Structure 1
Amino acid sequence: MIVHELMSMESIFSEELKEGYHVLLGKYKTVDVVMEDTECVQEIDCGTEQIVEVVFDPGNEYSLIRLGAYTFKETPSLDELQRTIFTNHGDIFAEAVSA
């Protein structure tokens, strides 16, 4: 079983999105947990992953809607991240794309 432990979270592109939309970059420690038997658990460190999530906040408490998630082995460059998100969510970035 793979376990992702959140190490840090930051919001990016906040000024460029339509109201209510956010892009979050999370850094996760990835661990593979293997049950050897009822008394033994083995944990294997699998490194870290960068997960970028595009979310919409309709303004209600505890109501973020995830529109997409993209996994990177290393922190993506800003250009790589923009291309990935623009390809899948260009309508959210209307002002940023036309600028």
Structure 2
Amino acid sequence: MIVHELMSMESIFTEELKEGYHVLLGKYKTVDVRVLSADCVQEIDCGTEEIVEVVFDPGKEYSLVRLGLYTFENEAPSLDELQQTILEQHCDIFEEAVSA
């Protein structure tokens, strides 16, 4: 069983997004957990994984809506490349100045 343990989370592009939208970059430690017996568990370190989520917060408690999910197993793209990818899929979440 692969387990993702959150190591850090940050918001990116915060100044450029319309109100209620968030782009979150999460860095996860990935571990393969194997149960060998009733009292023995083996954990194998599988490295780290970066996941970018595009979410909308409608303002109600516990109500984030996921609009997109991007995973980078090897090397994460630059912020410019990431912004371009998100602009192509979710152009409506950015303020007008960025999309112009």
Give me the TM-score of the superposition, normalised by structure 2.
Answer: 0.90
1:85 corresponds to which residue? 86
In the TM superposition, what are the counterparts of 1:1-99 in structure 2 within 5 Å? Answer: 1-73=1-73, 74-93=75-94, 95=96, 96-98=98-100
Q: Residue deviations 1:62-91, cap 9 Å, x none?
A: 211111110112332012211221121112
Where 1:90 maps in the other structure, the secondary structure is helix
Secondary structure of 2:45 counterpart: strand
Instruction: Quote the offset at 1:3 in angstroms.
Output: 0.5
Q: 1:39, CA displacement in angstroms?
A: 2.1
How much does 1:31 deviate? 0.4
Secondary structure in structure 2 of the residue aligned to 1:91: helix
Q: Secondary structure at the match of 2:88?
A: helix
Instruction: State the number of aligned residues.
Output: 98
Q: Structure 2, unaligned stretches of length 5 or more?
A: none
Identity among equivalent positions (%) equals 78
Letter in 1 for 2:79: L
TM-score, normalised to structure 1's length?
0.90
RMSD, matched Cα? 1.3
Q: Which runs of 5+ in 1 are unaligned?
A: none
Q: What is the CA distance between 1:94 and its match in structure 2?
A: 5.2
